[in-house]
Amino acid sequence: MNKALERSRVLFLDTGAVVRLLQMHPDYYPVVSSVLDFAYENNLTVLISNVTLFEISKKAFAAGEGLLSRQYREFFEHSRNVKACEVTGEIAVKAAEFAGTHKLKNEESLRLATAYVCGADCILTDCVAFRDMTDIPVVLLDEVE
């Protein structure tokens, strides 16, 4: 396990990690699964942005899997230790700052702002650009053992 993840009490799980888990990606499913196991065993809070729910639900609807979208929502809203974070005014303004000062897509800036505003002490992502934008430790999927 990565040292930043081991020290974390409030972990932000970014969209890339969630997508790899849902896809059962052969390289990353075991990684994300082990991080979630660690989070549950150590009673970490796992933050997920509702922007992530939007992104994965959009893919589900495009594939004709609307029911899957509702299952994702249920998981986000009712899983022990998982907190789905709403996009608040504070998050929107921080996201605008990130987007205005860095080259991020709107969804990326909203997710990073969510981690920042909601108090994450570690971010698990596949977005290397996040490292240059916050003092929150950023752990890439490839860095988890």
* Domain 3-143 annotated CATH 2.30.40.10: no
Q: Tell me which H or E stretch contains 124.
A: strand 122-125
pLDDT value for 49: 98
Mean pLDDT of the region 25-40:
95
Q: In the chain, what are the domain boundaries?
A: 3-143
CA nearest neighbour of 53 among 28, 78, 70: 70
Q: How confident is the model at residue 103 (pLDDT cuts 50, 70, 90)?
A: confident
Burial class (CB in 10 A: 0-12, 13-18, 19+), 138: buried
Which pTM was predicted? 0.94
